[in-house]
Structure 1
Amino acid sequence: MKTLLVTGGAGFIGSNLCEYFLEKGNKVICLDNFSTGHKHNIAHLLENPNFTLIEGDIRNSEDCNKATFGVDYVLHEAALGSVPRSINDPITSNDVNVSGFLNMLVAARDAKVKRFIYAASSSTYGDSESLPKVENVIGKPLSPYAITKYVNELYAEIFSKTYGLETIGLRYFNVFGRKQDPNGAYAAVIPKFVMQLMNHESPIINGDGNYSRDFTYIDNVIQMNELAINTTNQEAINTVYNTAYGDRNTLNDLVAYLKEYLAAYDSKIANVEVIHGSNRVGDIPHSLASIDKAKKLLGYDPKYSMNEGLKEAVKWYWENLK
């Protein structure tokens, strides 16, 4: 039994991690301020004696110190995501993603946690046009959000070298799956499209739809976090990994698959038309991860392709949100 702290544990990825590691028999502490997370994501966990909810903010160092006390491993998921959000409000994104991250690093160091595993981002690749994306080749950031996530990596590296804190960064590539919020101005594209199609509304694709992404199902992300906790390979720590499936699909492909899978539940969805809008500022045109490093050093073996993950996600949305 390990004691894990999941920051942002009521969010999409965080709540899935809380649930999974509780089922594995660990003690799990969730720290969340519910700015983007939801209590309904963790409501079923509250009666579990091995689960502790701390309502707090990573921008408050006292909350960070309280949450890391007695913790073996930190899974740091708390952040303000979304490129457009960071463009509209760079100060708050920086406060949460950089100052909050630094607070958590200091708290983890002082609490002598064994390892600090954090959500990094594929946005760090910036304007680099090379494909597939390899961890040691990045470009210049294209948004305030991308800057904050790159700064996280720099801080983690310094804390590893200066204080001996073991860190592993996981560069998430377009994660999707159960519990991902379809509502709000900054909703991720897959749950947003799913909800629009279920309501017979036309999804709006930014640009001509030929931008491509390495869409990554949540269970692949859970596997990477578990491997990052359990690895004893010294070469595998104090570095960053692409966390993806290692394939890419265009947005046009994505919508076509969603329409196909949702039409199995409601045949009218097959006839919903798609609207094309303008390209979004700060977006990377193409994203495809090399997962060779994670395979070699961590033994990563992703089980879900985008199609397999979409079928699972569509089923979950239909059963829970229709």
Structure 2
Amino acid sequence: MTGGAGFIGANLCQTLLALKVPEIVVIDDFSTGTFENLEGLPVEIHDASILDRVAVDKAVTRADSIIHLAARPSVPRSLADPLASNEVNVSGTLKILEAARRAGAHVVVASSSSVYGGNRRLPKREDMLPRPLSPYAVSKLAAESYALSYATCFDLPVLAVRFFNVFGPMQSAGHAYAAVIPRFVEAAVNGHKIQVHGDGQQTRDFTYVRSVTEILADAALRRIVHNGPVNLAFGTRTSLLTVISLLERIIGRRLDVEHVASRPGDVRDSQADTKILRTLFPAATLYGLESALAATVQWYTNRQSVDREVPAEPSVQIASR
């Protein structure tokens, strides 16, 4: 898989190992992922960029299925540097698709609900006209479009999935472009003020990472394909203020909230239509939001208690280039 040291990738490694997948190969340049996320896991790691054709070919040479998660994430980051987002998310995806053609591999490509953008109809159906509002959203639409065109033009077995606000353990909060739930959870755990962009009534289809990794693993193992994009979410709709209320109940105290200006490129509301997902993955599991938030809070709490003054050497094997 690409991006296997990131939040979703590292959780996916654990899911695949639990399913006793015999060989897992990760390629990651560690620009956002960390060695710590894979520490102790029996996976083969290639420390390289997906823009490096030779490194990608070496990583996927034995692949039956490639799960392409590597990306330059974040709407604000794409506003700060649109060219970089395009290079990784679009050109990088093309390189993975070409490598998959050479290897004869099935490919699962991660797209984003941000492609719906300014289309305000709910729930978001895959056949709706995309209206991306940011360079990031444009890059993810281009990536999934390339993947689906490769299925048509080159008979490449492809599944393009659109993520909706995935959250859970191992999701980083310590940077300017962190997603909303890890920012809220880390602030809550540390007793800091929670910063909300806008009025907090904007809604999202929050999806626990375990649901996502179980579906990705199933897609790869069964080599699932579809002739269009597929929403990977469960049709829930929760406001940011409701998330804060749930965190208050989990932590057991009131949280200090500060409202600041809305961010350019942010979508007001998001909710997935689930018909295609349920057709392809009828056994997919929806984990309750409050219990999933509690598990996430517990992970962050445990992480805070670990002494990181002298970090341990990573116990992972790095493949030579």
Q: TM-score, normalised by structure 2?
A: 0.91
SS in 1 for 2:25: strand
2-structure distance, mates of 1:182, 1:133: 27
2:315 counterpart residue number: none
1-structure distance, mates of 2:278, 2:222: 12
Structure 2 counterparts to residues 269-280 of structure 1, below 5 A: 270-280=253-263
CA contact (8 A) 1:171 1:243 kept: yes
Equivalent of residue 23 in structure 1, options 18, 26, 40: 18
2:311 counterpart residue number: none
Change (3 A) 1:173 1:224: same
Equivalent of residue 126 in structure 2, options 135, 143, 160: 135
Please, what is the CA RMSD of the aligned residues? Answer: 1.4
Which stretch shows the higher mean deviation, 144-153 or 15-24?
15-24
Where do 5+ consecutive residues of structure 2 fail to align? 306-321
1:3 counterpart residue number: none
CA contact (8 A) 2:78 2:136 kept: yes
Query: Is 1:155 paired with 2:146?
Result: yes
Equivalent of residue 107 in structure 2, options 116, 119, 141: 116
Deviations 1:183-240 (A, max 9, x none): 111111111111111221111100010100001000110122123224477xx53432
1-structure distance, mates of 2:283, 2:115: 21
Give the residue type in structure 2 aligned to 1:112. G
Query: Is 1:243 paired with 2:232?
Result: yes
1:86 counterpart residue number: 78
1-structure distance, mates of 2:185, 2:223: 40
Give the residue type in structure 2 aligned to 1:151. A
Cα shift at 1:25: 1.8
Give the residue type in structure 1 aligned to 2:35. K
Give the residue type in structure 2 aligned to 1:183. G
Give the residue type in structure 1 aligned to 2:165. N
Give the residue type in structure 2 aligned to 1:87. L
Change (3 A) 1:148 1:76: same
Q: TM-score, normalised by structure 1?
A: 0.91
Structure 1's consecutive aligned runs of 4 or more residues displaced over 4 angstroms after TM superposition are none
Cα shift at 1:308: 2.4
Using CA pairs below 8 Å that are at least 6 residues apart, which structure has the higher relative contact order?
Answer: 2
2:309 counterpart residue number: none
2-structure distance, mates of 1:178, 1:8: 16
Equivalent of residue 167 in structure 2, options 164, 173, 176: 176
1-structure distance, mates of 2:26, 2:11: 11
1:262 counterpart residue number: 251
Give the residue type in structure 1 aligned to 2:141. Y
CA contact (8 A) 1:120 1:169 kept: yes
Query: Is 1:103 paired with 2:86?
Result: no
2-structure distance, mates of 1:305, 1:214: 12
1-structure distance, mates of 2:199, 2:265: 16
1:63 counterpart residue number: 55
Identity of matched residues, %: 38
1:165 counterpart residue number: 156
CA contact (8 A) 1:127 1:284 kept: yes
Give the residue type in structure 1 aligned to 2:237. R
1:306 counterpart residue number: 289
